[in-house]
Amino acid sequence: DEAISAAVLAQVQYRHCSMQDRASFINGIRDVFLQEDVLCALSRMAVEETGMGNYEDKLIKNRVAALKTPGIEDLTTSAVSGDGGLTLIEYSAFGVIGSITPTTNPTETIINNSIGMLAAGNTVVFSPHPRSRKVSLYAVELINNKLAQLGAPANMVVTVTKPSIDNTNVLINDPRINMLVATGGPAIVKTVMSSGKKAIGAGAGNPPAVVDETADIEKAARDIIKGCSFDNNLPCVAEKEVIVVNQVADYLIHCMKKSGAYLLCDKKLSQQLQSLVLNEKGTGPNTAFVGKDARYILQQLGIQVGDDIKVILIEAEKTHPFVVHELMMPVLPVVRVDNVDEAIELAVKVEHGNRHTAVMHSTNVEKLTKMARLIQTTIFVKNGPSYAGLGVGGEGHATFTIAGPTGEGLTSARSFARRRRCVMVEALNIR
């Protein structure tokens, strides 16, 4: 309640700030998180506290969040003029936003959401995942310290000192919260969508990577391993299963092994891996292994490998739990199919209508187009690693709130704003 009250007061004060003020505040936030010592500390803290992901990729994610999240430039004004006068359509603040952030991408989401939400004129109350409490509080503290230096209203970005499910429920139900943004699993997305408030939900994915016989197989192998292993497969955009035309499957696996994959061939060990990394019901991941690296997982099977091993490969049938369920760890099932049409059909099926992310490696424009049309994902990466869809090594802005369920897609400042119309009747039309 105290955090929400502070953000409400800050929002009233923030309305009196100019667009230039907003730009100054946002640039200040960027500057803080682009300091190398801050980036290093934040990334290291996230890995140490959550026990997930890896330091090097956290650095990349935090940096891209600070660099490539759009600011006030995203809030473009449009105009309509005619005999009836002039109408302006502009973006305006929602008010106070409640943002629920995940343990998988804690600081990246806070940086990304803070820039976008403040750019739109809002204040924000964060409800971090309890497992990422310390690093999330540190990120919010860094933002507030910088905003104070710049003369911004106090408490534009706030959070609770002890994140919990109860506090999240208070945030969701408080009438002073004008919008809810949830970056996490399907349960929290469903909760905010049923709140009766404007809600943006960034839910789960299960991104398939399709490889056909026309692809550059060596490049496809490198890209898939880089994408799958990125932050130990924590991003929901990361490749979760490979569906490959049988004609090139052997060579793809060979090239993936050269690129840092370990192929688990032994059936007994494959079964042990399944028992290890799935939950008791076999319907999802064992959370103890989410975001762990391939070397650690293999060690639990008694297999010792070097640091060059980034991904565990396992050949699997279409209905294998590793194919059907999102694991969020560098365990990558490979499914063989007879032709590209069968591959696309299976990809659509295992993506489960999440409308999140899909990848295809092919030089056949007709088949690339077919898959894009059928799978209907928010992000569709062609001939590259999945993280290119986040703006890492690809064009476009960065976001860590990818709203497939509610349709906003790759969120930015305008996602957190209301469209308003200002009409001048029979005047200012100068054509």
CA distance 205 to 372: 16
Question: What is the rounded CA–CA span in Å between residue 77 and residue 91?
Answer: 7
pLDDT tier at 427, thresholds 50, 70, 90? confident
Task: Give alpha helix (H) positions in 164-245.
Answer: 165-173, 186-193, 217-229
Q: How does pLDDT run across 325-371, given as a tens digit for each residue?
A: 999 999 999 999 999 999 999 999 999 999 999 999 999 999 999 99
Question: Three-class SS of residue 298?
Answer: helix
Structure tokens at 258: 């050269």
Q: How far apart are CA 164 and CA 232, in angstroms?
A: 26
The alpha carbon dihedral of 317, 279, 292, 308 has a sign of: negative
- Number of helices (H) and strands (E), helices first, in the chain? 15, 17
Q: Kindly compute the dihedral angle of the four CA atoms of residues 103, 105, 111, 117, in this order, to the nearest 10 degrees.
A: -80
Q: How far apart are CA 380 and CA 237, in angstroms?
A: 10
In the prediction, which pLDDT does 305 show? Answer: 97
Mean model confidence pLDDT for the chain: 96
Residue-level pLDDT at 426: 86
pLDDT digits (tens, 9 = 90+) for 371-407: 999 999 999 999 999 999 999 988 999 999 999 888 8
pLDDT band at 184 (very low <50, low <70, confident <90, very high): confident
In this prediction, residue 430 carries a pLDDT of 76
Delineate the domains of the chain, giving CATH numbers in brackets.
Answer: 2-203+405-425 (3.40.605.10), 208-390 (3.40.309.10)
- Which pLDDT score, from 0 to 100, does residue 186 have? 84
Angle (deg, nearest 10), helices 55-68 and 36-50: 130
Neighbour-count burial for 413-422, b at 16+ CB within 10 Å, e otherwise:
bbbbbbeeee
- Would you state the pLDDT for residue 185? 81
Residue 414 DSSP code: G
Q: CA-CA distance, 159 to 235, in Å (whole number)?
A: 23
Q: Cβ(114)–Cβ(29) under 8 Å?
A: yes
